[in-house]
């Protein structure tokens, strides 16, 4: 594996087609699944590793965000990643940026409301990664469904020659979506955190029984939050991230809640196949996550 710190060193180490997996590090099986999908689709896999300060609206959240580059280098090496791009802050953000990428409309709900400036930070850094690393493909997790919509739209609007591919959410064995933030939960909070996925799975059961009403599905999700403090539970369209009164198109049911000091998000995507609604429940680990290794 090549560990590189600059865009030009990353590009100099490519052979053939290039797939990018953008990350903020502290790898877990969700990242590994993206790396494997990337390896199956391109000759060179480059994983970016940068905790992007531009996307944190809360300095305490940025400070707390888990970091361990040595650990991540070992995991990336074991995963046979070709290039680990771990830029210095100066490489990524040479000066206080005077340019920002904002994606309107799609960011007027959910995370866009709860975390002002978050998506401009994501869109700006992903634009820099696309411009500097010039991948043919880029892989993102479906756990960040609104982020995925924002990135797909920025690729379309800015004509980036990048194909964006999404991968199902990877979950711990009890259903909790993998997130580096799970490591910040106390054991009591870790139990409470299950409420997010429990509410989503209860809503999937209702969908399978024929429920299509948006507000009723949202209230099932919110009704499962007892120990966690809800920020939102919303059904939205996958492409425009517009709140839906009926589940009648590709959509996602999203939840965000605070468990202690930790804010968690999760969602279930609903796709339509031959007129049927198909829920993407994600993939479940059968063993403890490497998050706790």
Q: Which residues are 166's β-sheet partners?
A: 140
C-beta of 218 vs 266, nearer to ligand PAF: 266
Q: Say if strands 283-284 and 170-171 run parallel, antiparallel, or are unpaired.
A: parallel
C-beta of 55 vs 182, nearer to ligand PAF: 55
- Clarify whether 49 is annotated catalytic: no
Stretch that binds ligand PAF, among 121-129, 193-201, 246-254, 256-264 (CB under 6 A): 121-129
C-beta of 22 vs 175, nearer to ligand PAF: 22
Of positions 35, 125, 148, 224, contacts ligand PAF by CB under 6 A: 125
- Cβ–Cβ under 8 Å, residues 209 and 228: no
Of positions 26, 33, 55, 103, contacts ligand PAF by CB under 6 A: 55
- Smallest gap from Cβ 125 to ligand PAF, in A, equals 5
For the segment 184-203, give every residue that binds ligand PAF (CB under 6 A).
Answer: none
- Smallest gap from Cβ 99 to ligand PAF, in A, equals 17
Q: Closest by alpha carbon to 72, among 140, 3, 18?
A: 3
Catalytic residue selected from 31, 49, 118, 167:
31
Instruction: Kindly state the greatest CA–CA separation across the chain.
Output: 54
DSSP string across 232-252? EEEEEETTT--B-SB--SSEE
Q: What are the residue ranges of helices labelled H in 158-258?
A: 187-192, 194-208, 214-223
21 binds ligand PAF (CB under 6 A): no
Of positions 52, 107, 124, 127, contacts ligand PAF by CB under 6 A: 52
User: What number of other Cβ atoms are within 10 A of residue 209's Cβ?
Assistant: 7
Stretch that binds ligand PAF, among 10-18, 88-96, 120-128, 233-241 (CB under 6 A): 120-128
279: Cβ contacts below 8 Å, ≥ 6 apart = 204, 207, 208, 268, 269, 270
List strands edge to edge, sheet with 251-259: 229-237, 251-259, 262-273, 276-280
Backbone phi and psi for residue 81, each to the nearest 5 degrees, phi listed first: -65, 140
- Smallest gap from Cβ 115 to ligand PAF, in A, equals 11
- Smallest gap from Cβ 50 to ligand PAF, in A, equals 7
- Smallest gap from Cβ 277 to ligand PAF, in A, equals 26
- What region, left, alpha or beta, does residue 281 occupy, with left being phi > 0 and alpha being psi -120 to 50 degrees? alpha
For the segment 138-177, give every residue that binds ligand PAF (CB under 6 A).
Answer: 144, 147
Binding site for ligand PAF (CB under 6 A): 22-24, 52, 55, 122, 125-126, 144, 147
* Catalytic residue annotation: 31
């Amino acid at each position: 594996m090549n560990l590189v710190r600059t865009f030009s060193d990353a590009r100099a180490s490519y052979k053939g087609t290039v797939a990018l997996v953008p990350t903020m590090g502290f790898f877990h099986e969700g990242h590994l699944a993206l790396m494997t999908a990337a390896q199956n689709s391109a000759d060179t896999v480059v994983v970016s590793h940068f905790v992007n300060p531009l996307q944190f609206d809360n300095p305490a959240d940025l400070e707390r965000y888990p970091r361990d580059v040595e650990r991540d280098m070992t995991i990336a090496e074991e995963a046979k990643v070709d290039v680990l791009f771990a830029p210095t802050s100066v490489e990524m953000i040479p000066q206080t940026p005077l340019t920002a990428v904002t994606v309107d409309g799609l960011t007027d709900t959910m995370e866009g409301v709860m975390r002002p400036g978050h998506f401009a930070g994501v869109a700006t850094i992903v634009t820099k990664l696309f411009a500097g690393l010039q991948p043919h493909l880029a892989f993102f997790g479906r756990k960040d469904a609104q982020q995925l919509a924002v990135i797909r739209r920025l690729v379309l609007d800015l004509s980036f020659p990048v194909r964006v591919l999404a991968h199902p959410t990877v979950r711990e064995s009890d259903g909790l979506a993998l997130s580096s933030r799970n490591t910040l939960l106390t054991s009591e909070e870790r139990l409470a955190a299950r409420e997010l996925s429990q509410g989503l799975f209860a809503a999937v059961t209702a969908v399978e029984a024929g429920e299509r009403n948006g507000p009723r599905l949202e209230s099932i999700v919110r009704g499962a939050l007892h120990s966690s403090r809800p920020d939102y539970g919303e059904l939205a369209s996958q492409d425009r991230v517009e709140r839906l009164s009926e589940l009648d198109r590709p959509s996602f049911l999203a939840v965000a809640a605070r468990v202690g000091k930790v804010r968690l998000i999760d969602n279930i995507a609903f796709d339509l196949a031959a007129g049927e609604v198909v829920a993407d429940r994600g993939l479940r680990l059968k063993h403890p996550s490497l998050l706790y290794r």
